[in-house]
Amino acid sequence: MIKEVIVVEGKDDTAAIKRAVEADTIETNGSAIGEDVLRRIALANERRGIIIFTDPDHAGERIRKIVARHAPGCKHAFLPQELASRKGDIGIENASPESIRTALSDLRTESDALESEITWEDLIDAGLIAHSEAASRRLEMGKLLGIGYANGKQFFKRCTSFRISKEEFLTAWREMERSLEGKQ
C-alpha cells in the first residue's frame, strides 16, 4: 500500500492506478478543480502526503501546477507520453501497470530552493533551449531526469525546484547524446 494519496484527473486514471498498485486516489475531475477537491487534497497532503500523477499533456500540466500550489512539499510522478498513449489518446488510463509502477518508484519532490546547480547557460549548452531540436531534446532529458516534458522556462524551473544536481544533469545529457547519436 502506498502511504501517500495519489491525485489523478479522473475515474479511468484511478482504475489504472488500482490495477498497478494498492493506493488511495483523489480525482480532480479534469481541469475545473473545485474548492472542495482542493481542500481534500490539502488535507490529504497534511495528513499522509500526496503524489500528483496527471496526464502528460497540456491539461495535465495545468492541473499539476494548480494542485502543487495548494499542496506544498508534495511529490510528483511523471509518465512519458509514449507510455501513456493509445490510439491518439494520451492519459494515465492508457499506461501499463508496469509503467505506472515505474513512474511511482521515481518520485520527485519540489523545493522552494531559489538556487540550483543548474544554470540557464547549462540548458543552452545542452541544446535544451535556443536549439533547432530543443523540444525533442527536452523531451528526452525530461524522461531521463524523471521530470517530464516542459517548455524551456518550465524545464529550468523543474530542474531548480526538483533540485537536479549538476552531476545528475550531466549524466542524463551524456546518455541523451549517446541515444541521439545511435538514432542517426
Q: pLDDT per residue over 70-83, tens digit each?
A: 998 899 999 998 99
Q: Which residues pair with 5 in a beta bridge?
A: 50
The whole-angstrom separation of Cα 120 and Cα 105 is 29
Residues 22-65 pLDDT 10s:
999 999 988 788 999 999 999 999 999 999 999 999 899 999 99
| Domain boundary pick from 88, 110, 132 | 110
If asked whether residues 95 and 123 sit together in one domain, one would say no
- Over 70: is that where the pLDDT of 148 sits? yes
Question: Which residue do the cell numbers 481541469 mark?
Answer: 31
* In contact, 137 and 169? CB cutoff 8 Å: no
Q: Are residues 96 and 157 in the same domain?
A: no
Work out the number of other CB atoms within 10 angstroms of the CB of residue 172. Answer: 20
Tell me: do 16 and 43 sit in the same domain.
Answer: yes
What is the span of the domain harbouring residue 157? 111-184
pLDDT (mean) for 162-179: 92
Distance CA 12, CA 98 (A): 17
Q: How many CA atoms within 13 Å lie on the side-chain side of 68?
A: 20
Whole-structure pTM value = 0.81
pLDDT, tens digit, for every residue of 7-16? 999 999 999 9
Same domain, 104 and 127: no
Percent of the chain with pLDDT over 90: 73
* Whether 143 contacts 180, CB under 8 Å: no
For the stretch 92-142, pLDDT in tens is 999 999 999 999 998 988 765 556 689 999 999 999 999 999 999 999 999
> Same domain for 126 and 98?
no
